Amino acid sequence: MVPLSYYLVLSGILFACGVTGFLIKRNIITIFMSIELMLNGVNLSFVAFAAHWHALAGQVFVFFVMVVAAAEAAVGLAIIIAVYRTRETLNVDQVNLLKL
Q: Which of 37, 55, 63, 53 is nearest to 4 (CA)?
A: 53
Instruction: Quote the distance between the C-alpha of residue 18 and its chain's center.
Output: 7
∠ Cα 90 31 6 (to 5°): 165
| Binding flag, residue 42, other proteins (CB under 8 A) | no
Q: Does 96 bind other proteins (CB under 8 A)?
A: no
- Using CB under 8 A as the binding criterion, the count of chain residues that bind other proteins stands at 68
- Is residue 26 near other proteins by the rule CB under 8 A? yes
What is the distance of C-alpha 2 from the center of its chain? Answer: 26
Q: Which residue ranges make up the site for other proteins (CB under 8 A)?
A: 1-10, 12-14, 16-21, 23-27, 29-30, 32-34, 36-37, 40, 43-44, 47-48, 50-52, 54, 56-57, 59-60, 62-64, 66-75, 77-82, 84-85, 90-91, 93
